[in-house]
Chain A
Amino acid sequence: MTRALRGLARALALPVALFALWWLVSAGSKSFYMPPLRAILGAFGPTWSERWTSDVLPSIGRLLIGYAGAVLAGVALGVPLGGRPRLRAALEPALELFRAIPPPALVPVFLLLFGIGTPMKLLVIVSGAVWPVLLNTIEGVRAVDEVLADTCRCYGITGLARLRVLVLRGASPQIVTGMRQALSIAIILMVISEMFASSSGLGYAIVDFQRAFSIPQMWSGILLLGAIGVVLSLGFGVFEARALRWYHGQRTAHREGG
């Protein structure tokens, strides 16, 4: 028990210290752009309690839906590409080009094609977050163990069963790596899609505050955004630890020469 507490204390030590430092340093700040931390935290409650359901929750909702869409699309496309070298070779240069386009640069295109609204925002998120999932799925499917594949052939495990039992499970560590990268990208794109052309949402609110020079509110929004990022990241860590328990166990065993 005490060991866990000590670990927690060590983990929190620096962040708490930095926070305290920020509080102290900015306490007497007269700068317009960098208000005291106390003012920022004070602005938290009033600002976001009213905007919670109108801006923050819809944003998070769009983020999660877009993210889920990106993961599904990435896996659905990645599995066939991973298993067909010819198809992959044909599409590889085109995919390289598409994935090199910074997703924010596509926002004007999506605005043109779909106008302002939720579909556009979802598409922006998917268009950027799909790539890490797709590419990692391809890699994961390609790297399915040969001996395991032979074993499946011998025991007559083919087709859909093989996909479920061998390919997806075997590629899952790689897919989860892609999912983690996709999450950060999805958050960024959620914000960008709202900063750019929107009338609601967390990103829109932050930009709105900035335009109106409501600086403490703006900073509180940034902090909230950061907090959402951290919480989602921690949540993902929990998911990963459970889903890949077998993988982490196996790697530890290998490392210890088991």
Chain B
Amino acid sequence: MTRSLEVRRLRKIYDGHGRIVEAIGDLSFACAAGELVCIVGPSGAGKTTLLKCVAGLIAPTTGEVVLGDARVAGPPPGMAVVFQDYGRSLFPWLTVWRNVALPLENRGAPRGELHRLVDDALAEVGLADVHTAYPWQLSGGMQQRVAIARAIAYRPAILLMDEPFAAVDAQTRADLEDLTLRVWRRHGITLLFVTHDIDEAVYMAQRVLILSASPTHVIEDLAIDLAAERDQLATRSSPRFAELRGRVYEQIQRAKRAGAPAAGEVRP
């Protein structure tokens, strides 16, 4: 049962040993249920902080995150996250199969259903034949696919991905992007995808949220009106893709210039 996401006037201030940093300043947006939204912004724009607030891993200073009809105060049930650092998000002492099955086991899923979900997820990401391997025996791309399989098997209401393909080589990244799109389309989950790669964001999204530099807020909410069927070759070489990409790039450059070095510091 996929749910909608709404972020209302999110603000996050860090107090780091005397220096106060306003990582996020008044950020609001909404995703409809089943929508794929990408978030891009200059580095240090607090993208990961935003994702962690949405995931309930850290508490915002003010503002709120609403998932479906429930306010998020701590990691909500029905949410799955795929982190950038796949090497550290998979349990090295469990096989691939056990890794994917773990959240379901913990939730108390009945055996038959559990096996079905796990096998299905592994087949979907193309790892059915390595389910007895350990994560560290696999390549980076395959490890990230395990993480994705784990997320899918969980049948979450919303899937968050934090720069998941940043640490993977370009070839593998393309495969993983397409895999994500397939998975999203098949399950119809709400998907919030954070990335620093503008091309990736435009390629994958239905909407792109462009963030400013610190203190972060949404500069523009860009609707991506490309064809629903995305193709690495055709879509990326289409003129409309270049236009959208150019628009995003321009906005981010402007954001970078507007952000002075000391921006984000709120002196007491």
Q: Which A residues are closer than 8 A to B by beta carbons? A: 145-148, 150-151, 153-157, 161, 165-166, 169, 172, 246-247, 249-250, 253-254, 258
Contact between B92 and A250, CB atoms less than 8 A apart: yes
B132 proximal to A (CB < 8 A): no
Residues of B within 8 A of A254 (CB): 136
State the main secondary structure of chain A at its contact with B.
helix
Residues of A within 8 A of B80 (CB): 154-155
Q: Which B residues are closer than 8 A to A by beta carbons? A: 55-57, 74-75, 77, 79-81, 83, 85, 88-89, 91-93, 102-103, 106-107, 134, 136-137, 154
Contact between A151 and B134, CB atoms less than 8 A apart: no
Report 24 cross-chain contacts, Cβ distance below 8 Å, ordered by A residue: A146-B88, A147-B85, A147-B89, A150-B81, A150-B83, A150-B89, A151-B83, A154-B79, A154-B81, A155-B75, A155-B102, A156-B75, A156-B77, A156-B106, A157-B102, A157-B106, A165-B102, A246-B93, A246-B134, A247-B93, A249-B134, A249-B137, A258-B136, A258-B137
Most buried by A among B74, B93, B107: B93
Contact between B57 and A150, CB atoms less than 8 A apart: yes
A154 to B52, CA, bound (A): 10
Q: A148-B91, A247-B93 are in contact. Are A156 and B137 (CB under 8 A)?
A: no
Contact between B106 and A161, CB atoms less than 8 A apart: yes
Q: A151-B81, A249-B136, A250-B136 are in contact. Are A157 and B93 (CB under 8 A)?
A: no
Residues of A within 8 A of B88 (CB): 145-148
Residues of B within 8 A of A258 (CB): 136-137
A258 to B135, CA, bound (A): 11
A12 to B152, CA, bound (A): 54
Residues of A within 8 A of B102 (CB): 155, 157, 165
Known: A155-B103, A246-B93, A250-B134. 20 other contacts (CB 8 A): A145-B88, A147-B83, A148-B88, A148-B91, A151-B83, A153-B56, A153-B74, A155-B106, A155-B154, A156-B77, A156-B106, A157-B103, A165-B102, A169-B91, A247-B93, A249-B137, A250-B92, A253-B137, A258-B136, A258-B137
Distance of B79 from chain A, by nearest CB (Å)? 6
Distance of A258 from chain B, by nearest CB (Å)? 7
Contact between A246 and B92, CB atoms less than 8 A apart: yes
- Give 3 nearest A-B pairs by CB, closest first: A147-B88, A155-B103, A246-B93
